[in-house]
Amino acid sequence: MKTYKSLFLITLLIAVFAGCSDDNNMELNKGNTPLVLTVSTDNIALDSANPNAEALKFKWTSGSNQGTNAAIKYTFQMDVKGKNFAGGILVNLGKQIYEQAYTNEALNDTLINAFGIPINTEVTLEARVIATIASNQVQPDTTNIQTVTVKTHKPITKTLYLIGDATPGGWDANNAAKMTAITNTPKGFTWTGPLTTGNFKFITTLGSFVPSYNKGADSTQLYLRESFDDPYDEQFQITEGGTYIINVNLITLTISIIRGNLPEYTALWFVGDPDWIFKPMTVDLLDPFVFHYNADLSAGGEFKIGTIQGSFDAKTVFFRPAVDQTPAGTNLDVVKWAGDPDYKWKISGGFYKIKLNTRNMKIDIVPYTPFKMIWMIGDATSAGWTIDDAIPMNATSDPNVFTWTGTLNAGELKFTCDKQSDWNGAWFRASENDIAPTGQEEHAWFGYGPAGDYKWKVTAGNYSITLNQWKETIVIAKQ
């Protein structure tokens, strides 16, 4: 038989309380007002389709402290009829609580877990309330007993996980992706993330393949597979990798699978000669489908682009050339797959800027040549926005690095690499618009044309500026 202490802890987790209060204990002294318990219904079949709806409510009067001005504390008891409250549940509610309410799901869980009532079974319960007065002069009082007949139902899981070779965790039941409960949608779950070509389904418990929710009659329906004895194990299929939004409703057994306008990968790695170490690529500031890698590849050789850092596993997907040993170039076709054939790009030694577009599956592998001059322009400079009057920076012994020292007005600032009068040339710009310089090394975003026309915004004063076009960094330091 369960102890009152353990049952009390269980009930605290699953009961839904609602209370009303009276802060003045004298107001609770209602003469010889009896302590009376009422119940909202005496017969109920719990509704699995409305788990959060109130199913049952017990209410009681305040009772009396017999003029002692002492506080009254209430204890709620409920047990199977005929057991005389020898077990069941006991909840110490404290003062000024006059209700005990249960939702459909909370009462169903109470009956199954605390009382051990089987699923789809009708049981009659008894309930009462004991009022204890904080005075040695008054004995505890007990309400009348209320009975209610309740029928249980099969519980619907409170947790759901995504599993399959299309998911990040593969078929590892201990590493399945947890879905998030949808607010105000009972038994609704959602998940957003990358899926690759392959299959998936849902499990309810980490480490266990059953019960599972599988593909039903079509790709919008779910089927509950409760044990391995059920041979039906249909799965949902992903035919095109990408970022997906998955919503399911376990009450209606429906599912929606939406391919979002988001990149399949948020991080990629360059890996190749001479050391085959995974080196992170940089996500483009304007387009999350585009990745950059600028590097000294003087050793030349082969490379490919990985999707999982450090993994050469046969199941790991790599971005590869459409034709093995494709040399450097622009607008080259890209494909991706795991395992063989292990195609790679092959380049001669030198400095390169690599740009991979995962949306249109193209790559630019371009030998880097530094611009011979960099100019400053903006209303922070004496040139204003007249591009022909742009202020030249000073070349240094390093062809990648340009500097400038002087006075700037309050205003905006960016850098042109070719002074094209149509403004569609090459630029170094801020990572966001009207950002104040940090005074430390920061990213100088490189791009062509008007897209992402972000500028730094400076206050008037003397400045020292150093721009490194290879590293794509800048220091704008006020003196």
Tens-digit pLDDT profile for residues 169-191 = 999 999 999 999 988 889 999 99
Q: Tell which CATH classification among 1.10.579.10, 2.60.40.3620, 3.30.70.270, 3.90.180.10 matches the domain 375-478.
A: 2.60.40.3620
Q: Model's pTM, two decimal places? A: 0.56
Closest CA to 139 of 66, 232, 52: 66
Give residue 20's pLDDT: 40
CB 383 within 8 A of CB 396: no
The third-level CATH classification (topology) of the domain covering 161-259 is: Immunoglobulin-like (2.60.40)
Give residue 17's pLDDT: 39
Which is more confidently placed, 428 or 3? Answer: 428
Average pLDDT, integer, range 385-410: 96
Confidence of residue 241 (pLDDT cuts 50, 70, 90): confident
The third-level CATH classification (topology) of the domain covering 269-367 is: Immunoglobulin-like (2.60.40)
Give residue 13's pLDDT: 41
Give the model confidence (pLDDT) of 254-278 as tens digits.
999 998 878 889 999 999 999 999 9
Average pLDDT, integer, range 82-95: 92
Model confidence at 383: pLDDT above 80 = yes
CATH 2.60.40.3620 domain extents, the chain: 161-259, 269-367, 375-478
Give the model confidence (pLDDT) of 110-167 as tens digits.
999 989 999 999 999 999 999 999 988 889 999 999 999 999 999 999 999 999 999 9
Q: Tell which CATH classification among 2.60.40.10, 3.30.70.100, 3.90.870.10, 3.90.1260.10 matches the domain 4-151.
A: 2.60.40.10
